[in-house]
Amino acid sequence: MAVPQQTAEPASAAAEASRRPRRRRSFGGRNLAFWYFVGPFLLGLLIFTYIPVGWSTYLSFFDARNTVTPAAEDFVGFDNFVTMFSDANFRRSLITFTVFSAIIVPLTFAGSLGLALAVNKVPIMQAFFRSVFFLPFACSYVVASLVWKMSIFTGVRYGMVNTVLGWFGIESIPWLFGNSPPWFWLVIATLRLWIQCGFYMILFIAALQQIPVHLYEAAYVDGAKPGWQTFWHITLPQLRATSVAVLMLVLIQAYQAFDEFYNLLPNNGNVPYARTPLIYLYNTALGTVQDMGRGSAGALILALLIAIVTLLQGKILGFGKPEGR
């Protein structure tokens, strides 16, 4: 008696299904590997960022002098915020570095974009030039500040800049003091440009290499001249997303300036003519008074100001829009 063929098909299907690897529904496999890689980062983010920010917010509502664990009777509400807003020195530090940001942001943007365009057109040794310009970014601000202070802009006639000026009969300039004109801004601006431009140059080079070549070919066919026309109508619009990201990062870093001012200027940067918000908050929270409540309130005000300015900048410049639109 012949056996129907239908009985063989389910058997083969069952055998094939039994040989297939079963998906793991337990906490393992790819899920476990994911947490192995992401877990340490999330733990560090929680310990070193979220918990300090939350505790700083808590301290900002207390009269926390010389302590980080204030008692309940030390609750002062929004008095610390009112005190910080009414402090002329704190307001002056915010205004001063808003002006500083307005200067350093366009200079860094133009310098890094110019370096990217130049290096991207170099026919040979591009990797060498990228490494050379990026290398200062790997140097800490403390080390770079000491090099600037002790070798280049030392303020005595044996410094490199004053030596060059002496060749032309120009007297030595005390660069790092609040004289008139304020030459220390030149020292700080050149230091920051030297450190930052190489990093943002790499970002622009990566964006330039993603621009389709056929756009330039079509522009040449339509009669566009190489140079300014193609840069303005093709290159720059295609760099919109990268440009906005660079501007936002440079602006945030400008408001967070601390190391170069602390190491370059007299009295560890605590000078009225160029006091950064972070140095002012550092001296308020960790100085002789150690007022953690006021320092935390000022830190929250500064963080809120950076967030508002960044969001406005992103809104105006079109952060998140596709390239070329």
| DSSP H helices in 48-176 | 51-59, 79-86, 88-120, 126-134, 141-147, 160-167
Structural domain includes residue 148: yes
How many domains does the structure of the chain reveal? 1
What phi and psi values does residue 223 have, to the nearest 5 degrees? Answer: 100, 10
Structural domain includes residue 120: yes
Structural domain includes residue 43: no
Structural domain includes residue 65: no
Q: What is the pLDDT of residues 163-172, one digit of tens each?
A: 888 888 888 8
Structural domain includes residue 1: no
Q: CB 309: neighbour CB atoms within 10 A? A: 16
Structural domain includes residue 176: yes
Q: What is the distance between the alpha carbons of residues 126 and 130, in angstroms, rounded to a whole number?
A: 6
pLDDT for the residue numbered 1: 47
The tokens describing 277, both together, are 């918000």
Structural domain includes residue 17: no
The pTM (predicted TM-score) of the whole model is 0.79
Structural domain includes residue 127: yes
Q: Which domain holds residue 264?
A: 75-317
Residue 102 belongs to domain with CATH number: 1.10.3720.10
Q: What is the pLDDT of residues 93-138, one digit of tens each?
A: 888 888 888 889 999 999 999 999 999 888 888 889 899 999 999 8
In terms of C-beta distances under 8 Å and separation of at least 24 residues, what long-range contacts does 82-87 make, across chains too? 83/294, 83/297, 84/294, 84/297, 84/298, 84/301, 85/301
